[in-house]
Amino acid sequence: MTEPLVIGLDEANARALATSLGGELLVQSAVDGCSTDWRWADALESWRNGANAGPKAEHIVVALFPEVLEPAALDTIDLGGWVERSEVALARWIAALGVAQQRCADGGSITAIIDRVAPLDCAGRSTETAVSDAVEALVRSLGRSEGARGVRVNLVTTPARLTTLPVVDPQPPLAAFPGSIEDQIIPTCRMLLSDDASALTSTVIHVDGGRSWR
């Protein structure tokens, strides 16, 4: 396996992921503010269009880990908070996956990694759940559009950063829940990047110790 291009934010998890996988980190540009009129999206669009011009890569990992915010019921989130927590986050993923689509070589693979709480634990996480479900659909869309040129596109989800313990019963089957990016996510990512996953595309792997069953 060649070293992947890792697309991430300017933060520790993305850097550690790139180091562990031996790949280059392409940092997505910062977003200035979170206005409701999407002025901040100009920077993301410019970043995407510029990054699209880079060289092709056989394997690309997209791992956006924004700052984790406190859980909040939807009714308690104001519009600015809604935009910050959901719309900015989704726009970031669209930009990053757009670059991955453009730069992944024929026959290569794209693996996305996203924070996601299990359905049992999603109260207070409507914004994060919206974004993770959206990314699931984006990955499946790319799996369909890029399959014709042999590109595999898959998603790994992790509750590690978003889950607040203890969780409601029944407890997850595996004691390792909610796991960690280092111990559970990176090995899963390696499997998806390898030839062992040659028939896997549009697949979503919830690495959450059995907390999710779909």
Partner 1 sequence: MNSVNTENTKVVLITGASGGVGAGVALACASAGWTTWIMARRAAEAQQIADQATLQGGSARIFIGDVGDPESVQAAIARIIKTDGRLDGIVHNATSGLSPIPTSLAEVPFEDVADHVRVSLRGTYLLAAAGHPHLVATQGSFVALTSEAGFEGKARLPVYAAVKAAQRGVVRSLAREWGPTGARANCVAPLASTPAMTAAFAHDPAMASRVLARNPLDRLGDAEADIGPVVRFLLSDESRYVNGMTIMADGGSCPIT
Rounded CA-CA distance 48/195 in Å is 29
Q: Where on the phi/psi map is residue 209: left (φ > 0), alpha (ψ -120 to 50), or beta?
A: left
Q: Looking at beta carbons only, is 142 or 186 nearer to partner 1?
A: 142
Task: For the beta carbon of residue 74, count every other beta carbon within 10 angstroms.
Answer: 13
Nearest distance from residue 77's CB to partner 1, in Å?
8
The two three-digit tokens of residue 198, written as one number: 């040659």
Positions touching partner 1 (CB under 8 A) are 38, 41-42, 44-45, 48, 52, 73-75, 77, 79, 82-83, 86-87, 90-91, 94-95, 97-99, 101-102, 119, 122-126, 129-145, 202
Nearest distance from residue 22's CB to partner 1, in Å?
26
DSSP type of residue 188: H
Q: Looking at beta carbons only, is 178 or 186 nearer to partner 1?
A: 178
Q: Looking at beta carbons only, is 111 or 132 nearer to partner 1?
A: 132
Q: Looking at beta carbons only, is 157 or 186 nearer to partner 1?
A: 157
Nearest distance from residue 126's CB to partner 1, in Å?
4
Nearest distance from residue 16's CB to partner 1, in Å?
26
Q: What is the end-to-end Cα distance of the chain in Å, rounded?
A: 29
- In angstroms, the Cα distances linking 139 to 69, 93, 105, 156 are 24, 10, 16, 10
Nearest distance from residue 139's CB to partner 1, in Å?
7
CB-based burial label for 203 (10 Å; 0-12, 13-18, 19+): middle
Q: Looking at beta carbons only, is 15 or 150 nearer to partner 1?
A: 150
Nearest distance from residue 122's CB to partner 1, in Å?
5
Q: Looking at beta carbons only, is 3 or 45 nearer to partner 1?
A: 45
Rounded CA-CA distance 169/24 in Å is 41
